[in-house]
Amino acid sequence: MLDLPLFIMLGCAHNGGETDTGTNTNTNTNSHDEATLRAVNLSPDAPDVDILQGQKTTAVVEGLAYQDVDSATLRPSQQATFEVVPTGGTAAASVLTVDNVHLTAGRTTNLIVFNHFAVLEALTFVEDGSNVPNGQVRLTFANVAAGFGAMDVVTINPDDAIITGLGFGEDEAVEIPLPGFDTMIGLDEDADGAVDATFALPDLTTTNADHFDVYIAADPYLLFVAPDDTAVRVDPTPAPPATAGG
């Protein structure tokens, strides 16, 4: 296995804790003639929400609490519209309309509800797990951490940027050699070139998947999501104790 540390360079300050498991409420089993909508609630102060398709009265995803991941199987569409409503509400109570969502047969579309409730936003993108080279893993990073600025994802040894300028509300995929699990991900919270928080990469071999979504959310923490909706929250590792004279 390769020792390939990663560092994510950001522009605002936050704090954190240790590693635990995120919530998954459904299993993604999309077929080649159906599309899957994966809904994720990463708005830290929003209530539980339902996702309605258009003006329909029955939610495609119900009771989506903070950090929940849930999926629905739907007909393919190039211009689907979804309403985000407080749980139990109708389309008339929508707090966010998400237009022109691409639902592709045999693929999963992410719909991430993020930012603070008063300025709620959604990020959508179609997950791409095709043609990942052998021995590599594709990570799609999504910057949905309220209060954070643009970020770079870089490797060290050598010190190379693999994603640059990933803005708030943006996503970008990168392929890296399947890393060793002493690999660390770090955040530079004030863009001074120093890593302020580090994260231990979860074991990506347990699901036999070769692509994952990585949501960077407020605190900060990372939420790794596998193709079957298995979600693992990774909080910053504790800072090492100070040494005498250090």
* Residue 209 domain flag: yes
* Residue 239 domain flag: no
Q: Are 14 and 189 a contacting pair, CB within 8 Å?
A: yes
* Residue 241 domain flag: no
In one-letter notation, the amino acid at residue 92 is A
Lowest-confidence segment of 3-7, 110-114, 227-231 by average pLDDT: 3-7
* Residue 244 domain flag: no
Residue 9 pLDDT: 56
Q: Evaluate if residue 6 carries a pLDDT over 80.
A: no
Residues 228 and 45: their CA atoms lie apart, in Å, by 27
* Residue 82 domain flag: yes
| Confidence band, pLDDT 50/70/90 cuts, at residue 154 | low
Residue 227 pLDDT: 93
**Beta-carbon-side half-sphere exposure of residue 61 (alpha carbons within 13 Å):** 31
User: What range does the domain containing 84 cover?
Assistant: 6-234
Lowest-confidence segment of 56-65, 105-114, 211-220 by average pLDDT: 211-220
Domain count of the fold of the chain: 1
Residue 187 pLDDT: 67
193: left (phi over 0), alpha (psi -120 to 50) or beta: left
Report the pLDDT averaged over residues 153-172: 73
* Residue 134 domain flag: yes
Q: Evaluate if residue 243 carries a pLDDT over 50.
A: no
* Residue 242 domain flag: no
Predicted structure pTM score: 0.83
